[in-house]
Structure 1
Amino acid sequence: MELRQLEYFVAVAEERSFSRGAERAHVVQSAVSTAIAKLERELDMQLLDRAGHRITLTPAGAAFLAEARSTLAAARRARNSVAPYREQLGGSVDLGILMSSGPLDLPAALGRFHTRYPLVAIRLHQGVTGTAAHLAAVVDGSLDLALVAATTASRQVTLRPVARDPMVLLCRPDHRLGARSQIHVADLAEETVVRFAAGWGIRLETDDAFAAAGIAPDAPYEVADYDTAAGLVRNGLGISLMPATPAGHYTDLRAVPISPTITWTLSLATTAQLPISPAAVAMADTLLEACPPS
């Protein structure tokens, strides 16, 4: 059994697709299919059910996935453990990122890190399932660090704030609330809301704000990116709540402040269970240095 086989299996299992798994692993699909078939023969056990339109895990495959993730995380820690003994910092960092980093200029921070530590391989993981999935990945070791929209997490995770962004109402200029200088959350009781996917930190903040105001607006549209949300708003299908920084990109729409203030907080998540690698420490320091003033 080889680590590469485990990497390919985890990629296919998480993507639920051989083609997407191969793309994620940066190899041709035939190499992934061959490696996983060999792995199943070695184990004498079927791990993936290939019968349907989407790849699914067998019960044995689900059990094996957890151990495969753990093994890959342990291998990564072993590789990174020798980094302090090199003349220049090396190793790799698996960093989970969100669809938006708010006021944090993430590409600039990554560029500075690469200039300082050119031998460190940075692997970015941007998932549509957002904060909840990233926090779980930090706990199971498949991510070294993750940028998440959260202020609380389990005791297995350490959170450090990186940036904060007030939420705003995004609507058309001709919307009944578009001319207001500020709106109250309760004003949205009769509105149709374009909301974000379950697991996103922004979804939790929005749901909590609605609950606190005692309202339950109609929310038939659930999306996983800001552009789609803005497009639905632009075409008169509803309003949306999002952080002020991404909302400011849609200059043809109105971004109206909200009362009481709802704050979207970007935090850096690391494991609280095990020491992180020197490369991950350096990456964390670089991201925290890049924090814009509060």
Structure 2
Amino acid sequence: MNLRQIEFVVAVAEEQSFTRAAQRCHTVQSSLSHQVAKLEEEIGASLFERSSRHVRLTPAGQAFLRQAYIALEATRRIPEEVATASGQIRGRLSLGMISALGTIDMVDLITRFHRQHPQVEVHLSQSGSEELLNRIKEARLDVALIGLWPGDPVPDGNHLFLCEERLIAVLPPKHPMAGDKRLTLEKLATLPLVDYPRESSARRQTDKAFAAAGIAPQISFEVNHLDLIARFVAQGLAASLVPESVASGLRGVAQLSIRDAPKRVLYAVWAKSPTPATAAFIDLLRMDLAG
């Protein structure tokens, strides 16, 4: 087994295609397929279910992929650790964040980090908290900024408390309830609502809030981005619950405090053994929080 074979397996798993994996790895498909088959023979297990239309991981392939990410990450870190021993921070920093992150200016944070460490290649992606945590666990991400419901367990590994904030209601500006000074979850639940998909952590936060109050809300629209939530509200099609720091940046909506307002907790999480670039980024984040 060699690293190139491991890279081939990861590429096939992520692309779900031998053809696209070969293009990604800058090799011909026959060579990639041969190396994957050779690896499967060596470990005595099939890693993929192959058909004319689909390529899927077998249970053995899923187990292999988890360890493959760890092995590739360990290899990537060798030159970074050597550079650190020489007084330099270089390499790659992979960041992930939820879309509704009003309390942290990630662009400004990355800009200042880049000025301090210009030899670090920074990458950023957005996703839901669960997906980001999975990427941290699989060593595909260095740092993730996530949101949790108060009381939810903080994932294993390193974490940093960022803040706790209320969710507030956003309504169409001309809605009869837009001037309600005593809006409650019960009143809000009588309106059509727009929210994140059911499987997302953001949606679970609002679902738990309504459930704790014994209320069944009307979720009419499920979308995966804050901008879409704001557009549905501004057009008078629905109301929503959003974090207070995020609501301040939305245009064309009325913002109302809720008497029984739910809250969310934001954390930065990273692997148990951080890279030098990760440690430097967390130091910068800690300095920001300290004021």
**Shift in CA distance, 286/7, structure 1 to aligned 2, threshold 3 Å:** farther
TM-score by length of 2: 0.82
SS of corresponding position for 2:258? strand
CA contact (8 A) 1:8 1:32 kept: no
Deviations 1:197-226 (A, max 9, x none): 345432222112101111011214221101
**Shift in CA distance, 240/289, structure 1 to aligned 2, threshold 3 Å:** same
1:287 and 2:285 aligned: yes
Note the C-alpha offset of 1:275. Answer: 2.6
Name the structure 2 match of 1:61: 61
SS of corresponding position for 1:237? coil
Give 1:1-294 correspondences, 5 Å limit.
Answer: 3=3, 6-7=6-7, 9-10=9-10, 13-14=13-14, 16=16, 29=24, 31=26, 34=29, 36-44=32-40, 45=46, 47=48, 49=50, 51-52=52-53, 56-127=56-127, 130-150=128-148, 152-153=152-153, 156-271=156-271, 274-291=272-289
Deviations 1:55-85 (A, max 9, x none): 5334443232222122123223434332321
Note the C-alpha offset of 1:123. Answer: 2.3
Tell me the amino acid that sits aligned with residue 39 of structure 2: L
Rg comparison, structure with higher value:
2
**Shift in CA distance, 30/114, structure 1 to aligned 2, threshold 3 Å:** closer
**Shift in CA distance, 154/161, structure 1 to aligned 2, threshold 3 Å:** closer
Note the C-alpha offset of 1:86. Answer: 2.1
Deviations 1:95-129 (A, max 9, x none): 222213212111111111111111122222323xx
CA contact (8 A) 2:170 2:254 kept: yes
SS of corresponding position for 1:269? strand
Note the C-alpha offset of 1:12. Answer: 5.4
Note the C-alpha offset of 1:16. Answer: 5.0
Q: Distance in 1 between matches of 2:110 and 2:283?
A: 11
Q: Distance in 1 between matches of 2:288 and 2:18?
A: 37
Tell me the amino acid that sits aligned with residue 56 of structure 1: R
Q: Which moved more, 1:3-12 or 1:197-206?
A: 3-12
Q: Distance in 1 between matches of 2:218 and 2:194?
A: 9
Which ranges in structure 1 are unaligned for 5 or more consecutive residues? none
Count residues in correspondence.
283
Tell me the amino acid that sits aligned with residue 47 of structure 1: F
**Shift in CA distance, 255/11, structure 1 to aligned 2, threshold 3 Å:** farther
Deviations 1:36-64 (A, max 9, x none): 53442332446264644x75334443232
Which ranges in structure 2 are unaligned for 5 or more consecutive residues? 41-45
Q: Among the aligned pairs, what percent are the same residue?
A: 30
Note the C-alpha offset of 1:13. Answer: 3.0
TM-score by length of 1: 0.82
